[in-house]
A and B are shown apart, each in its own frame.
Chain A
Amino acid sequence: MLRRFASFFLITSLFSHGVLADTSNDLEFSGFARVVGGYLSTDEAKYEGYDNSFSVSQKSLAAVQADYTFNDYFSMSGQLLWHSDESRQSGVEWLYLTYQPNASWQFNIGRLRTPLLKFSDVIDVGFAYPWLNAPQQLYSGYLFSQYEGANARYLGYYNEVTFSVELYWGNFDDEILSNGTSSDVEVDGMFGGVIETSYRGFQFRVATSFANDTAVELDELQPLIQGLRAAGFGDTADTLDINGASSSYLLGVGYDSLNWFVTAEIIKVESEIDVLAAIDSSYITFGYYFDEILLHATIASSRQSLNEIDNPIPIGFSPELDALYFAVEEVNSYFPTDDLDSLTLGARWDFRTNLAFKTEVSFLKGKEGKTSFFELDVNNTEFDRRATLYQLGIEWVF
């Protein structure tokens, strides 16, 4: 933890003293940082890493981006990110080569961030969006946040309508944290597209993402899978083998004006993997500006339908079969069931053009018997899945 914060202070102090300021016309440095503290009202569970003691080590981060322009057509960008959350990997977040033959076309190749939701590719840049914590029901770690591959973007217009089309393809190989457990996820052949249009203050966005061959390695399950096969329950073992395709569909709408904005997104995630599930999530945010102060309210919801694993193992015949039966039952409760409704009220004060102070409170209402994005023992019946998250933070871009 100390090393993580040392990195954070090193990068921010270098910038504050101008050491990494623009060095030439061809090479430019920029960056962003955030310090976020939070407190959860319950001691029965954690949410987003927060518990009922104040902590600044869940969402704080700092990043530096270098952009080098070779000529009018080619440039290279890299972004190094240090995250205070130990479950997030620090290091190279972006590294890509850009070819821009004209103002309409742009091609990138390298390590890129997946652009599914409106703020997916800038989720670490808190200055870019109103909340401290983007709606967890959509912006959680389920989705493949980055990929190694290529994308193509086209920007065009027709009368007063501006539109952009982006297509991308790549592979993903990383750890995903869910319900406090991390798993190695490998995706061969991930592709998708985004179409955005804007007309005056209105925006409309549709996006899709397909992952053809998703392989999740959960080492904890391997002994059980082998035991099931040895006992002749191959079909049950197959349902625990997490390999298959998944697809996501997003629809977003918004309106921006001088004094207020409204934005909403709805996402549907489908999976052919037996034990994973379909997820439907959505949010709507309304914000009103009082000069440099923005007040906003967000209602968000998610519903996850989980496929129950069929447990055909008879009990009472032998201790070994009983153990297998209860192990399958345990697994049934292992996978997250993230049904959650939330109301977030927040304020953002842009007291400098590159500094913003934010505060927000989120009222969380999950469902009993479900994980509801909390880190908890799913069999915990004492906790009613209701909690309040308080957060304060500062966002900085430089």
Chain B
Amino acid sequence: MRFLPLFILTLVVSPPKIVHAREGVLVVANLADSSLVLSKSEIRSVFMGGSTKGLSPVEFVPGSYIRKVFNTRVIGLPEARIQSFWAQMRFSGRSSPPVSVDSIDEMLLFLAEHKASVGYLPEGTSLPKGLTVIYESI
């Protein structure tokens, strides 16, 4: 019984804090065919170890604000759940998480240098030639 107070304490400290990400996000790919458009669930599948549609995903490192927006608006899962998911995939030998980058400049560079790569950027980012928007969150 001596652990019950600690258990209850754990539940009441750290008051709930819900993130409301209102910003938009662009999902962009380095593709020869600029007519490709994917649905939200298809993008989610590409970034969560499902069907890749021939694309190689690249994402921002955990903790970055644009990643939080992307998780909220597109993936639809909290960061903790995503990390749990990738632990399960990695240690069961199924798949590995996408390559990650630290900044928007790194993302643009990576996308430009890798054919069929797909990443995401804040709404309003000016895109260089060769990158195609395949999904835009509303």
Contact = CB atoms under 8 A, between A and B. Distances in A.
Mutual binders A and B: yes
Interface stretch (B5-13, B28-36, B118-126, B130-138): B5-13
Interface string A245-267: 00000000000111101000000
Interface string B69-84: 0001000111111011
Nearest to B63: A353
B80 A292 contact: yes
Given A122-B88, A353-B63, A392 B79 contact: no
Contact of B77 (A41, A256, A345, A348): A256
B133 to A, nearest CB: 20
Q: Find the residue from A77, A94, A127, A257 having the highest chain B CB count within 10 A.
A: A127
Contacts of A289: 78, 80-81
B128 interface: no
Interface residues of B, number: 42
Interface in A74-117: 77, 79, 94, 96, 98, 103, 106, 108, 112-113, 115
Contacts, number: 127
Interface residues of A, number: 61
Contacts of B76: 200-201, 256-258
A212 B67 CA distance: 48
Contacts of A200: 41, 44, 76
Contacts of A128: 84-85, 87-88, 91
A122 B92 contact: yes
Interface majority SS (helix, strand, loop, mixed), chain A: strand
B81 A261 contact: yes
A359 B92 contact: no
16 contacts: A94-B93, A103-B52, A121-B92, A122-B92, A127-B84, A128-B88, A155-B51, A156-B51, A162-B50, A200-B44, A290-B17, A290-B18, A291-B16, A348-B80, A390-B7, A392-B6
